[in-house]
Structure 1
């Protein structure tokens, strides 16, 4: 038998009238809580974190967002007081993915020198960071690039924005963790570790009126270079190009990366079996500033450090050189240091070779970056 609906009495109408606003209010609460997560992402890192790119990388899981901003960015061409801007935000998902973003203005106030790292560090001990290319002054780095290692799903991307007026810059560094199920060995995955950094850089460039030239989307990026990826030094074409071999120091192999305008460059020199001997490093912009600041802190027992002089010798087996770079940028810094595990180079340093290797490395790097001929250490 069909049910006949009862007519709506005044009492039932009053009841429905009371329930409807309550349901609407509840719906509003649900919408507010759902929207608050997106608002937190919108406001993260002073509003320059690209939400669509974050979601594309981390997925649609619930997120926990932390955010901290302090200081200011002058952007006026090398303020004597420095740029105190320091931004940090972190996004974590329930599935274990995360992004940690730092944005720092350069140069830093002189009061910060020697007190600790001025900028976010890049993994570079066991692997060599590779340049981003595609028109970006940036780097892609990992603690380990070996398939299946615990850090296989983790990487760091750094993007430097040299501002149009010269002297000031913004450094964006993004640590991305996507879990071990996402291997860096698959070239199709690697752009996901980069896209948040480049998109954040684009937004930061506009937000702080930097006016830097931007690159194009990074659709492919090389793996950082592992310790066992050494090749003959003769014939090197990247960051080790032109560096001589040495019979006394048993230097005949190299690990290198392409040289594509990255703000840090490394050439690792080794013996025939790849065992380490020396490491050549070039620092530009904020990385040069940071390195000099750390020498002030860690080598205060030395008479002179790279913070006080353009070129010189540091310790028993280390030399540095410097070069003036265009548009008011921080002077570049070049180093050669003994890198051998058993200490042969430290115990019996081949000083003539160290100076020759540093000269070749610094001269090529400076020329590629449009800097002046480097000041070199004497004998």
Structure 2
């Protein structure tokens, strides 16, 4: 039995994978002997959506001589167009391999569109796989309600491969909150003002830092190496949208079902987290006691003032335990192992 993972590379030869997909490839190769299959990705065009698609798929997969004993994992979506993804799945089905779809995003939930159209069409496509690895039980429930009939395994949270953070997270920094990433994609920051003793640390790109309230400490865009040195104190915040009074609109709806990769980044740095109480991931946070769920960011001052040192240190210890698993790739490993179990 052979195991393969489909990776897309751009026409110039560079990797088309982001960190979640790249990490998944490393985990599956190192721990479950999955072999990468790199297929060249082109911009959508009439020629690419017809004969060239078949040619590329056959050119890469034909020499593998796939059989019913083999397993192929496909990232979903791989952003090569609906025809490519459909033809790829049809090829795998024709050769009788066991197919696994690892869901990274459901674009019809976060953008109200996807390469397949709406959620119903996404589900119809995913039903062609033998297994679907969904983010969490909330996402699985939604997919089932929309008509998903194939076998589903819950990932629980994404892994995040990184070196262990050596920063000590003590109760002296329990009022410190970090938010890191592309700040232009976090418009709620423009409306955010915090009060002592809460300290808010921002890292990342933003077009106009002058819009930020002076109560926020903006450190600019820093290198991953420098950010790793700064991360690890206090809490990491997982939030989205335009409002500090909850998360609304399509981004709020998406948080009800997805696993934010930002949460895994904080946990990999052994940081407990602060999440929106209606986010799907809040169930995991509360169950493992690795942070706090709040309705509004404005609640932080009161919530943190009531958090005693012992409770914070327990959250840190729990976050360190989960963080070790995240850095080791344990969650994807367990999910794929479940797919590989004999029927």
Which of 1 and 2 has greater Rg? 1
Q: Flag the structure with more relative contact order, 1 or 2, with Cα contacts below 8 A and sequence separation at least 6.
A: 2
Provide the TM-score with structure 1 as the length reference.
0.24
Query: Could you tell me the TM-score, scaled by structure 2's length?
Result: 0.26
Structure with the higher fraction of residues in strand conformation: 1
Give the structure with the higher percent helix. Answer: 2
